[in-house]
Structure 1
Amino acid sequence: MHGALGAAAAGIDALKAQDRASFFHPFTAIRDQQAVGPIVMDRAHGCTVTDIDGRTYLDGAAGLWCVNVGYGREEISAAIAAQSQQLPFFHSFNGISNAPSIALSERLLRLAPAGMKRVFYGSSGSDANDTAVKMLWSYNICRGKPEKRKIISRSYAYHGVSVASGSLSGVPMVHQHFGLPLNFARHVSKPDLYRDAPARQCTSELAYSTILAREIEDMILAEGPDTVAGFIAEPVMGTGGVLPPPEGYFQAIREVLERYDVRLVADEVITGFGRLGTWFGSDLYDMQPDLILAAKGLTSGYLPLSAVLVGDKIWSVFEAAAADGRVFAHGFTYSGHPTCTAAAMANLDILEREGLVERVAEIAPTFARMFPDTLAGLDLVGDIRSAGLMMGVELVADQANKTAFAPTIKAAGRVALAARRRGILVRALPNSDTIALSPPFIVSEAELATLANSLRDAIADVAVELRAEGCL
C-alpha cells in the first residue's frame, strides 16, 4: 500500500516537473512558477474543483468569471460528444454554415437587447474586442469617414490582451513590456464611487455621472469628433475592480456619443448570460449599444467561443456597402465552430430550463448582504461593492483615510493565497488590491456562507502577517 502511494506521489511530482519544464503559463510570474510549480486541477463538479493531490476547493470565481452553470454538466458534454461525431469542424468562410451556429445565432438575437441584427463568432473575449475595433473602422470607411478611428476606453478597464484589445485595456501590466497601447486607443477615468467620486466632491451619483460624461465629451472635442469612432465599456467593470456604474452613467454618456456620431460598444464578456441577474448588462443599465461582445458565459467555459452582436446602425451600413460585392475580409478558422456552438446551445438550454438568470437576481440581495455582514470589523476591508453575482472587496492599509497598500505589499494576492489554503478560490485583481468573487449561478446559500467565512479568516490571517512585518 505504501509503495502504491509512493508511486502515485512520484507520478504527481513528475507531472509538476514537466509543467515547469514545458508549460508557459499566462498571467504567471515565471520565477514563481519555476520555484513553486503548479496546482494541477484534476476534476470538478458543481461549485467545487479538486486538484491532483486530492485537495478540494470551493470555486468562488467560476474559473475566470465563466463557469456559470457549474462544473460537470453532462448535458453540455453530451452535446459536445454528439456534434464532434457528426460534424466536429468545418469553417464558415465563403458562405458555408452549420446547423448549430445557425440555431445559436437566431437564439442570441432573440435573447439580446433590441436592435441587434447579426452575430459574428470567434473564440475568445480578446478576439471579440479585436473584431469590434475592425468593425468600427470598416463601418466608418464604408461611410466615407476613414479618419474616424480612435476608440475611447477607461483606465483599468480590461478588454483583452491581443494587440488591439490590449490597447483598449487600461490595465498597466497589460501594456508594460509590450509597447502598448497603440495610438488609436484613448482612456478616460473609470467610474469609482469609493475613491474618485468623493475626491471630486460629487453631491450625488447623477452629478458624478455628469462629470464623467463631460470628461468623455472633452476628450472627443480635443481629439476631434471626426477622428473618434467609438467608446467601449463593460456594464460593470470587472478586472478593473468590480465597479458598478453610478446612477445615470450610461444615459449621460450615450447623449454625448450621439451628439458626435460615436458608436457605443458593450463588452459583455463577463456580464453576458446572467451574471448580473439579466441576460445582458446592457438591458440592466439601459446602455443601448451598437455592438455587444460576449464570450465566457456563452458556453460556461466548456469550450472556447465568442460572439459579436452587431446592431442595426452598423449592420445597415455593411449591408448597403456590400451591394458592390465587397467581402468583409475578417474572420478566424474557428469562427462558428460547430462543436463550440453546440456546447453553447446546451449551456443556454440549462440557463433557460433551470431559470438560472432569474436565480441570480433572487440570490443577489443575499450575496450583497452576507459578505459585508461577515467581513464587518476587519481593518483591512475598505469597500465592498456588488452587482448580481459579482463582488469586489477592496483592501486598504487604513480604513479612515482609504490609504492604499504600497504595490509591493500585494495584499490582495496574499489574501487569495490564504483563501486557497482555507479551501476557497477567489481572484486578486491587479492594480486595485481588490478581491473579486463571481461564483457559479448554482451556488447555494450554505456555499456562500462558506465563502464569506473563509474569506474573513483569510483576511484576518493576512492582517496578522502584515502587522508582524510592520506594514500596518
Structure 2
Amino acid sequence: MSTTPGTVLDGPALWPAQAHVPSVLGRQLVIEKGEGSYVVTSDGRRLFDGTAGLWHANVGHSRPELAQAAAEQMQCLETYHIFGRYANDQAVALAERLAAMSPISDSKVILNSGGSDAIDVACKLARRHWQRAGRTTKTVILSREYAYHGLHAFGTSIAGLDFNREGYGTESLVPETARVPLDDLDATTALIADIGADNIAALVTEPIQGTGGVHPPQEGYLQKLEDLCRTNDILLILDEVITGFGRTGCMFAAERYGVTPDLLTFAKGVTSGYAPLGGVLVSPQIWNPFYVDSADTPIFRHGATYAGHATASAVALRNLDILEEESLLQRVKHLETQLAEELTGLQARCAGVREVRFAGFLGGVSLVDGADATQVSDQLIEKGFISRPLRGNTLQISPPFITTDDELTDYLGAIEETVMEAVK
C-alpha cells in the first residue's frame, strides 16, 4: 500500500535523472540534434550548449569523424571482452596511448564504462593495495567537502554533497569513509590524526571541484595535499573525470598544478561523450605486485562486460586525434584568458553576482540570494543558452573547446542580462 500523499503524476516512461520529478514533468527539453557548440530541441529551439552537456562535449556535437570511427569499427568488430587471455586491438591501442600521455610515469590503464565506474575501481584498488601489503587496518577513504565523485556505491559514499548520501538507511553505503574540509589543510591534518593514518587507505579529490560549485584549488593547495598524503602513507586519487583531456589547458590538471597522484580517474573528455568510456591510470607502486611472475601473485578482481569496449576505444582514439589536429588545448588557453577577463568584468558590473570562479575553460558564477540560479538557468534557455545550477547558487560555465570568441561573449552577456533582470 502506497504511503505517498497527493496525486501521483503520469509522464513518460523515462525516469529523469537527478531530478525532483514533479518539478520537471511537462517541462523537459528533448534534445534531438547537435551542431558543433549548439543543440536543437524537438520543438525546434537552437541552444548554445554552455555546459558541453555534462562537462563532456569538448570537441562539439555531431562530429562526422567520430561517427565514422564508430561505424568503421562496428563493421570490423563491435567489441570483444578483455577478461583473462583475451583483449581487443582498440583497447590495447588506447591503453598504450593513454599511458604515454599520463602524468603518472610508467602507468597501467584500467578501462571501464564511465566516471562512476572509475571511482568505484580506484577506491577498491586503493583498499586492495593495502590489504595485499598486509596493512589491513588501512580502509578509510577520505574525500573533500562539496565533492562529487559519481553515484555508484563508492561515489555515493564519498560524496561531499550530503544530499547525495542521504536516504539509504546509513551514513555511508560503503563503510569507513570521511570528509575533510574544502581547503583547510590544518583541519585536514587534524582529522587524519584523529582517524589515524594507519586506518586511512586513500584521499580522493577533484583538482577543480565541478558539481560542488566550480572551486579551483587555492595556490599550492594540491601540492601540499599531496605532501600530506605522502607523509602519512595515504594514497592520493585524483578525480579528473571533468578536468582530463584539456579542460584546464593541459591534458590533465595534474600537470597544471604540479601533482603526481597514485591513481587518476578519467572519463567524459576521453571520448567527448561520443561513447561511454572511462578508466583509471595506475602508478607502478600499485600495479607492480599484481604483475610479479609467480603462482602466488594476487588478482585484482576488476572488469565489466564493456570494459575496453572496442568501438568506444576507437572513438576515444579518434577524439584524441582531433584534440591534437585542431590544437584544442591551445584554444582552451586562449579561451581561459577571455573567460577570466569577461567574468571579472561581469562581477564588477552586476549586483546580482556574489563571486566568480574560473580555471581553464571552466567557470562558476555564484549569485546573491535575490537571484536564483535555477530560475536564471530557465530564463537563459528562453534566450537561447544553456547553463546549469550547481551547489552554492552557482551557474555552470563549461562550453565546448570549439567555442568562438563571439559565442563566449554572447553567452556571458546573456548571463549578465538575465541576472540583472532577476535582481531588479
What letter matches 1:332 in structure 2?
Answer: A
Q: Which of residues 345, 360, 363 is equivalent to 1:391?
A: 363
Distance 1:51 1:336, change over 3 A: same
Distance 1:445 1:429, change over 3 A: same
Residue 323 of structure 1 deviates from its aligned partner by 4.9
Q: What CA deviation, in whole Å up to 9, does each residue of 1:395-442 have, x standing for no partner? A: 123xxxxxxx7xxxx811111111111110011103x11111001001
Conserved 8 A contact 1:419-1:426: yes
Distance 1:325 1:114, change over 3 A: closer
Aligned match of 1:175: 165
Q: What CA deviation, in whole Å up to 9, does each residue of 1:353-400 have, x standing for no partner? A: 111012111221111111332453222201111101000101123xxx
Residue 26 of structure 1 deviates from its aligned partner by 0.6
Residue 276 of structure 1 deviates from its aligned partner by 0.3
Aligned match of 1:249: 221
Cα distance in 2 for residues equivalent to 1:151 and 1:248? 23
Aligned match of 1:218: 190
SS in 2 for 1:95: coil
Residue 213 of structure 1 deviates from its aligned partner by 2.3
Aligned match of 2:208: 236
Conserved 8 A contact 1:142-1:321: no
Q: Identify unmatched segments of 5+ residues in structure 1.
A: 1-18, 192-211, 398-404, 465-472
Q: Which of residues 17, 20, 32 is equivalent to 2:23?
A: 32
Aligned match of 2:87: 97
Cα distance in 2 for residues equivalent to 1:315 and 1:216? 28
Residue 21 of structure 1 deviates from its aligned partner by 2.9
Whether 1:280 and 2:252 are equivalent positions in the alignment is: yes
Q: Which of residues 414, 421, 424 is equivalent to 2:385?
A: 424
Whether 1:345 and 2:317 are equivalent positions in the alignment is: yes
Whether 1:190 and 2:203 are equivalent positions in the alignment is: no
Whether 1:47 and 2:53 are equivalent positions in the alignment is: no
Q: Which of residues 332, 343, 353 is equivalent to 2:304?
A: 332
Cα distance in 1 for residues equivalent to 2:149 and 2:66? 27
Aligned CA RMSD, in angstroms, stands at: 1.6
Cα distance in 1 for residues equivalent to 2:276 and 2:113? 5
Whether 1:414 and 2:381 are equivalent positions in the alignment is: no
Cα distance in 2 for residues equivalent to 1:116 and 1:230? 20
Aligned match of 1:77: 67
Aligned match of 1:435: 395
SS in 2 for 1:324: coil
What letter matches 1:456 in structure 2?
Answer: E
Residue 281 of structure 1 deviates from its aligned partner by 0.2
Whether 1:261 and 2:233 are equivalent positions in the alignment is: yes
Cα distance in 2 for residues equivalent to 1:418 and 1:178? 34
What is the aligned length? 413
What letter matches 2:109 in structure 1?
Answer: V
Cα distance in 2 for residues equivalent to 1:322 and 1:150? 30
What letter matches 1:463 in structure 2?
Answer: V
Q: Identify unmatched segments of 5+ residues in structure 2.
A: 1-9
Conserved 8 A contact 1:418-1:461: no
Q: Which of residues 12, 30, 34 is equivalent to 1:21?
A: 12
Residue 325 of structure 1 deviates from its aligned partner by 4.5
Aligned match of 1:146: 136
SS in 2 for 1:308: strand
Q: Which of residues 463, 468, 472 is equivalent to 2:423?
A: 463
Cα distance in 2 for residues equivalent to 1:55 and 1:287? 43
What letter matches 1:32 in structure 2?
Answer: S
Aligned match of 1:203: none
What letter matches 1:31 in structure 2?
Answer: P
Residue 306 of structure 1 deviates from its aligned partner by 0.3
SS in 1 for 2:12: helix
Cα distance in 1 for residues equivalent to 2:236 and 2:254? 11
Cα distance in 1 for residues equivalent to 2:293 and 2:373? 50
Cα distance in 2 for residues equivalent to 1:297 and 1:341? 13
Q: Which has the higher helix share?
A: 1
Q: What CA deviation, in whole Å up to 9, does each residue of 1:263-297 have, x standing for no partner? A: 10000000000000000000111111000100000
SS in 1 for 2:58: coil
SS in 2 for 1:94: coil
Q: Which of residues 271, 274, 279 is equivalent to 1:299?
A: 271
Q: What CA deviation, in whole Å up to 9, does each residue of 1:45-99 have, x standing for no partner? A: 1100010111000011000000000112111110101111111121111131111
Residue 322 of structure 1 deviates from its aligned partner by 6.3
Aligned match of 1:370: 342
Percent identity reads: 36
SS in 2 for 1:22: coil
Cα distance in 2 for residues equivalent to 1:374 and 1:380? 10
What letter matches 2:378 in structure 1?
Answer: L
SS in 1 for 2:48: strand
SS in 1 for 2:300: coil
What letter matches 1:417 in structure 2?
Answer: D
Conserved 8 A contact 2:125-2:300: no
Whether 1:360 and 2:332 are equivalent positions in the alignment is: yes
SS in 2 for 1:271: coil
Cα distance in 2 for residues equivalent to 1:370 and 1:161? 34
Conserved 8 A contact 2:104-2:262: no
Residue 37 of structure 1 deviates from its aligned partner by 3.9
Cα distance in 1 for residues equivalent to 2:383 and 2:162? 31
What letter matches 2:22 in structure 1?
Answer: R
SS in 2 for 1:370: helix
Give the TM-score taking structure 1 as reference length. Answer: 0.85
Give the TM-score taking structure 2 as reference length. Answer: 0.94
What letter matches 1:433 in structure 2?
Answer: N
Distance 1:270 1:375, change over 3 A: same
Residue 32 of structure 1 deviates from its aligned partner by 1.9
Cα distance in 1 for residues equivalent to 2:186 and 2:335? 36
Cα distance in 1 for residues equivalent to 2:188 and 2:146? 16
Residue 225 of structure 1 deviates from its aligned partner by 1.4
